[in-house]
Amino acid sequence: MKKIILPFLILLVTVSLAAQNQPEFKNILYGVAYYHEYMPYDRLDKDIQLMKDAGITVVRLGESTWSLFEPEEGKFEFAWMDRIIDGMQKAGIKVILGTPTYSIPAWLYHKHPEILVDYLNDTHAHYGIRQNMDIVSPAFRFYAERIIRKMMEHYAKNPAIIGYQVDNETTTYGAANRDFFLGFVDYMKQHYINTDTLNKRWGLQYWGMTLNGWDEFPTRDGATNPGYKLEWERYGQQVVADYLSWQASIIREYRRPDQFITHDFMPLHAGQNYVLCNRLLDFPALNVYHNVQDGLKGEDLGIADDYTRSVNRNNFIITETNAQTIGWDSKWQTPPYDGQIRLCVYSHLSSGANMVEYWHWHSIHYGQETYWKGVLGHDLQPNRIYREVSRTAHELQKIGPELVNLKIRNQVGILYSMDSRHALKFMPYKDGDGYMDIVKQCYTALFRNNVGTDFIFTEKPILSDYKLVIIPPLYIATDSLLQAISDYVKNGGHVIMFFKSGFCNQYSTVRWQMMPGILKEACGFTYQEFSSIASLPLKDDPFGVGKENNTVSSWSEFILPGTATALAYYDHPFFGKYPAITANSYGKGKLIYVGTAPSDAITAKLIMDEIKSMGLETPDQLTPYPIVVHMGRNDAGKTVRYYLNYSGEEKKVKYPYAKGTEILSKTSL
């Protein structure tokens, strides 16, 4: 592989930003998850020395070790972990301690087998894997609370511990246990009061499914009603949020003011509602695994980071990411190329991360994750990855204070709807996760054109902070949200909206107005029909993307323009009389509507043409992919620009700004 150009960073003096209410980070933290308890022999002192030599500044401990903290019911042992934490403290390495509740000990399973998950369709979890318990089970909660309190009583005052991670990658794990279902019924009672309301909103007279009371409420098994399925998903998200908030509230009783609380989320996971879960967390953490070698393009890191940062619109941390190879077996073992470890660290930092940690320090010699390798391989000796980690760590020790607490403010946002994502899985317009296909398509277009992007969440849809809002298929929406979008456009906002938006209300019930209903004036058209379509070209290649890319597919809405202007028509004897894409001026703003699923090239051209017409272009758009440019402001109020090369070739770029300093070499530009 050819030499990869180093990511470099440029500072410009600008106006300082206001301080944020977050735990204080003085430097970038760089580290690993560490499990001395997994080692084949005692090598704690050697590991700590290797970490110290490498420049590791933080470790994450303890999230898988309930059976060691409490080897028998009511018998608690902490000396083994005390030795690890004490060793880290002496070496000046900070500690994040996890609650060990995501993997239950064998004695608990044998005493309370009922806490294991009952899945839908009468299948059941077994002991022998993690995350196999019903997190609402009273028995599980009793023992989980006890171990958390015992740990906090023992460790809260330990000066090495800077923060706590509650649980690990939490979802409902597919639970449909009796107590989980009864909780769902209580949830439904709170939201619908009585079954008469439910009958009306879900249309349960269809197929004669009307309910006479909550005692007749059916289980999730076999449910076909889209409203039921959507509420079940919402309930699951609420259960996870309540569970994490419950753990966080216990820790808050003990923690010091300088210690943070976080949870490690999975990127854009359909079972984790970041907004709900983040209520009692100080900031979110992210476990992000990604393609490497020739598959490292940058978008999968970028979308995960930007989504996580957008929850609080503030900094976050990376608690897990690739070190060497990953996988639950030895198929497709792909270690990173030289330079990719370092490139990915700076990529995370450029999106606002204050910490990057690898899962994990050492490769494990047994168990399911034998081939999910750490910084050290199975021989536990320094290697190529260790040397690259060490190089990066020592760089961060020098320049980290200029990079930490990066504040990012973007003018473009993608409106993300968890409800629409789930509902379009229940009533799909194509195979797979069609909602996320459009989300990723739009994000990639922005990422590859160096347009900074935030996510906006329907749970707190703050549209007015952005000049351009991109809306993937908003299949589920309240009247108030649709009105907010219409008002945003009327007051000067610009929107690019995709098909199926506004079709159903919050109960997954189709609206009975002519589409697009509340959005009619903002969109400037109506439609009554739609069709599934194969791949079709657009007439006359209106976006100039070439024959190969000039295609749309999957879906077509038969748009009848009013005030809207057609931007593109289908090149087809029947569909060709209907616009595929329209634009409408409404009030002071503009709404572009995409009534079909366009190719990647069309979506990118549509977005970038609008950004150009709005005057939102910056010199960064002149730097072509695979060079990716990110920017923000540091604690000194200076602008930091990252230039990240996602290719295997050395690249030259023209620095388009008046003045700056390349941080690593201190070269003036």
Q: How far apart are CA 609 and CA 636, in angstroms?
A: 35
What is the number of other CB atoms lying within 10 angstroms of the CB of residue 200?
14
Predicted confidence at residue 297, as pLDDT, reads 96
SS3 state of residue 492? coil
Q: Sheet with 565-569: list strands edge to edge.
A: 453-457, 412-416, 468-471, 494-498, 589-594, 579-586, 565-569
Whether the predicted pLDDT of 157 surpasses 60: yes
Whether the predicted pLDDT of 6 surpasses 70: no
Strand ranges, E, within 473-604: 494-498, 525-537, 551-561, 565-569, 579-586, 589-594, 596-598
Predicted confidence at residue 304, as pLDDT, reads 98
Whether the predicted pLDDT of 10 surpasses 90: no
Predicted confidence at residue 23, as pLDDT, reads 65
Contact 99, 243 (CB under 8 A): no
262-276 mean pLDDT: 96
Whether the predicted pLDDT of 3 surpasses 90: no
610-631 mean pLDDT: 97
Q: Which of 2-16, 118-132, 138-152, 242-256 has the lowest mean pLDDT?
A: 2-16
Classify residue 621 by burial, with Cβ atoms within 10 Å: 0-12, 13-18, 19+: middle
445-450 mean pLDDT: 98
Binned at pLDDT 50, 70 and 90, residue 24 comes out as confident
Q: Which of 418-432, 485-499, 649-663 has the lowest mean pLDDT?
A: 649-663
Summarised one tens digit per residue, pLDDT across range 606-616 is 999 999 999 99
CA distances from 75 to 83, 133, 147, 166 (A): 19, 22, 10, 22
Q: How far apart are CA 235 and CA 571, in angstroms?
A: 45
Q: How far apart are CA 260 and CA 280, in angstroms?
A: 10
What count of Cα atoms within 13 Å lies in the side-chain half-sphere of residue 332?
A: 6
Predicted confidence at residue 658, as pLDDT, reads 86
Amino acid at 46: K
SS3 state of residue 385? helix
Q: How far apart are CA 373 and CA 322, in angstroms?
A: 8
Contact 656, 622 (CB under 8 A): yes
Predicted confidence at residue 16, as pLDDT, reads 31
Summarised one tens digit per residue, pLDDT across range 551-599 is 999 999 999 999 999 999 999 999 999 999 999 999 999 999 999 999 9
286-315 mean pLDDT: 97
134-156 mean pLDDT: 98
Residue with tokens 């200076």: 638
Predicted confidence at residue 22, as pLDDT, reads 55
Q: How far apart are CA 374 and CA 35, in angstroms?
A: 11
Q: How far apart are CA 499 and CA 520, in angstroms?
A: 13
Q: Report residue 374 as tokens.
A: 């750490």
Residue with tokens 């216990």: 250
Nearest residue to 85 (alpha-carbon basis) of 166, 164, 160: 160
Predicted confidence at residue 529, as pLDDT, reads 98
Binned at pLDDT 50, 70 and 90, residue 494 comes out as very high
Summarised one tens digit per residue, pLDDT across range 349-358 is 999 999 999 9
305-310 mean pLDDT: 98
Residue with tokens 């540091």: 634
Whether the predicted pLDDT of 12 surpasses 70: no
Summarised one tens digit per residue, pLDDT across range 210-236 is 999 999 999 999 999 999 999 999 999
Q: How far apart are CA 115 and CA 135, in angstroms?
A: 8
Contact 545, 568 (CB under 8 A): no
Contact 251, 282 (CB under 8 A): no
9-34 mean pLDDT: 62
Q: Report residue 2 as tokens.
A: 């050819």
Residue with tokens 């069609």: 434
Whether the predicted pLDDT of 600 surpasses 50: yes
How large a percentage of the chain has pLDDT more than 70? 97
Looking at residue 658, the DSSP 8-state letter turns out to be S
